[in-house]
Structure 1
C-alpha cells in the first residue's frame, strides 16, 4: 500500500483578507463555544501508526496519511521524513498557526512568515551507548522570520503571546505524562 494517494501536495493560495476573515471567524466561534461550555475546549487527538518496510511507519491522522521513516544509516529506506524531523515540522507548523492567530487578535501585521526549527540530538542514548544523556532533543532553536511594517517591539509582543499559547511549543518545553500499554494481538 502506498500512502501518497492520500497526500495533498499543495495548499490553496488565499488573500490576506480571506486569511484574516477565517482567523476572525474561527477565533470568535471558539470563544463563543468555550464561553457557553468550558469543556468544549478539551480536545482529543489520535493517530494510528503501522509498521512498514524496515523501520518505516504509515501514519493515519483523520483523513490524512503520511510516511515516517529513517535514512539508511538508521536502518531505514528514506521513504519519508524522520520522526524527529516530523516533531520539528509539527512545531514549525503550529508556530505559523499561532503567529497568524495572535497577530490577528493583537492587530499586528506581517506579510510573510518563515520558521526554521533546528534541534540537537545525541544518538548515544538511542543506541544504548550512554544512558546519561537524553534520548530526545537537548536543545531546540526557532528562527522566526517575519516581513512586515511593524516595529521590533510589536513583533516581540507577538512572539511572547505565541510562546505563551502554542500547543506544540508547550509539548516540547514541558513534560507531558505518557501512558503506554502493550497488547499482544
Structure 2
C-alpha cells in the first residue's frame, strides 16, 4: 500500500495540442499576474506531516494525502517510498514539468519523456557512526530520455535551459536557508 486509499489517482492523458494549449495559457496567465503586481510571483507552499507506524509519515498537502516510510532495514514498515526516494521523485516530476514548459516555449516537440534519477547516500552520519560526511545525497545522477522529431542538439539545448529553471533541481544544487523550531 503506497497511498492511503489503496489506489493511485488517475491522470487523464492529453493530446499534444491540449498540452500545448494548457502550457501556453498558464504561461500567459502568470505573465499577466506578475505584470500587474510583482508580488504575485511569490508563492508559499505548506505541507504537514504526522508520524505513524514505526518511522512512517502521513503527509497532507491541500486535498492530497500520501505516505512516506522506510524499508525494514532502516526501521520502517516498507509501506511506501522513503523520504529520499520522494526527493528523487520530486526532482524527476519537476524536471518533466519544466521540460514540457520550455519545449512549448521554444517550439520543440516532446512525444515522450522518461527520467531516471539515482542518488548515493552514505548512512554513517544518519546513524551517528561518523559525523564528518553528509547526511544527504553526495551524488545524484539524472538521465533524461526524450523522443520527438527535434534533433539531439535541440534537446540538449533544452536540457541546459531546464537545468537553469527547474525549482527542485535548484534545491538539490544550492544551499537553501532552513529555520526550525520546536513547538
Checking the alignment, whether the CA contact within 8 Å between 1:46 and 1:61 is kept in structure 2 is yes
Q: Which residue of 2 aligns with 1:115?
A: 115
How many residues end up aligned between the 2 structures? Answer: 182
Q: Which residue of 1 aligns with 2:161?
A: 161
Is 1:130 the counterpart of 2:127? The answer is no
Q: Which residue of 1 aligns with 2:32?
A: 32
The 5 A counterparts of 1:82-101 are: 82-101=82-101
Q: Which residue of 2 aligns with 1:142?
A: 142
CA RMSD of aligned residues (A): 1.4
Q: Which residue of 2 aligns with 1:12?
A: 12
Kindly provide the CA deviation profile for residues 1-49 of structure 1, in whole angstroms up to 9, marking residues without a partner as x. Answer: x962396432111111101100000011011111111110100001000
Distance 1:30 1:5 in 2: 34
> Alignment partner of 1:32: what SS?
helix
| Structure 2 residue runs without a partner (length 5+) | none
The 5 A counterparts of 1:72-83 are: 72-83=72-83
> Alignment partner of 2:12: what SS?
coil
TM-score by length of 2: 0.96
Q: Taking structure 1 as reference, are residues 6 and 71 closer, same or farther at Cα in structure 2, changes over 3 Å only?
A: closer
Compute the displacement of 1:152 (Å): 1.4
| Structure 1 residue runs without a partner (length 5+) | none
Q: Taking structure 1 as reference, are residues 7 and 44 closer, same or farther at Cα in structure 2, changes over 3 Å only?
A: farther
TM-score by length of 1: 0.95
Moved more, 6-15 or 68-77: 6-15
> Alignment partner of 1:149: what SS?
coil
